[in-house]
Amino acid sequence: GQQLNQSPQSMFIQEGEDVSMNCTSSSIFNTWLWYKQDPGEGPVLLIALYKAGELTSNGRLTAQFGITRKDSFLNISASIPSDVGIYFCAGPLETGNQFYFGTGTSLTVIP
């Protein structure tokens, strides 16, 4: 299957710091999705990106769809304790309904 490489694997930051994580693939995606997952819950969609080069914000979150459509990054500004969780990138290939997931970035915010 397709491999999405997500980095870093884990992050430990102080409350108030900014966070940046990214996701790369060897294949072209038509949509990039960023999810946050709390323990024992389903992934919750944070941001969806559709166009190469597109920069999209959702509150303190900013994400960008790479020009080559093979990568994306997610930034979180001024982190707060409730940002704790695992962040996954995901996307479908240009055709079809199968979605591929990154390996996840575990974020810990220290108050």
Partner 1 sequence: DTEVTQTPKHLVMGMTNKKSLKCEQHMGHRAMYWYKQKAKKPPELMFVYSYEKLSINESVPSRFSPECPNSSLLNLHLHALQPEDSALYLCASSQIQRTGEALKNIQYFGAGTRLSVL
**By CB under 8 A, residue 88 contacts partner 1:** yes
Site string for partner 1, 6-35 (x = CB under 8 A): ------------------------xx-x-x
Sign of CA dihedral 42, 65, 56, 23: positive
Alpha carbon distances (Å) from 44 to 12, 27, 67: 21, 24, 25
**By CB under 8 A, residue 97 contacts partner 1:** yes
Footprint of partner 1 on residues 34-73 (CB under 8 A)?
Answer: 35, 39-45, 48, 50-51
Residues lying near partner 1 in the complex (CB under 8 A): 30-31, 33, 35, 39-45, 48, 50-51, 86, 88, 90, 92, 94, 97-99, 101-104, 106
